[in-house]
Amino acid sequence: MERKVAIFRKEHFNAAHRLYVPGWTDEQNLEQFGKCSNPHYHGHNYELIVKVTGTPDPKTGYVINLSVLSSLIRAQVLDRFDHKNLNLDTKEFASLNPTAENIVLVIYDILRAQLDPSLDLSVRLYETDRNFVEYPA
């Protein structure tokens, strides 16, 4: 029987960021991004939920070993973004506005490149417990 099961792993990281469009005036940025455009940055405790879908191995009963998945997230995502200033300290957001939408797309692409193609991937990112995003939708 080939039944696909989703397995989820939750991790978190803390980072600073600032939202703004370089070509815009301060007034335009303030109007669009409000307090999030503060030039000296603010920050979040980002919660990340990685969903991997596949067929459990008939012998082990695992879709993927969660300690393997957790290590992959740590090496590829947390070590890159945790306790960083996303605008200043990361090449991914050097010229890309670090909105939650853009962060979740970047994390998806990083993890997608590392996972076996037989596994489906989805990523959810909480910027706060009231604001969060998911890709694919």
Q: Is 36 a catalytic residue?
A: yes
* Closest approach of its own copies to the CB of residue 82, in Å: 7
Residue 21 neighbours by CB under 8 Å, 6+ apart: 28, 29, 32, 97
59 near its own copies, rule: CB under 8 A: yes
Close Cβ partners of 96 (under 8 Å, ≥ 6 residues apart): 102, 106
Given 12, 31, 83, 101, the catalytic residue:
83
* Whether 38 contacts 77, CB under 8 Å: no
How many residues are recorded in the chain?
Answer: 137
Say whether 40 is catalytic: no
Closest separation between CB of residue 84 and its own copies, Å?
Answer: 6
- Residues 132, 15, 69: CA angle, nearest 5 degrees: 70
71: contact with its own copies by CB under 8 A? no
List residues near its own copies by CB under 8 A.
Answer: 3-12, 14-17, 19, 21, 32-36, 38, 40-45, 53, 56, 59-63, 65-67, 82-85, 88-89, 96-102, 104-105, 120, 128-137
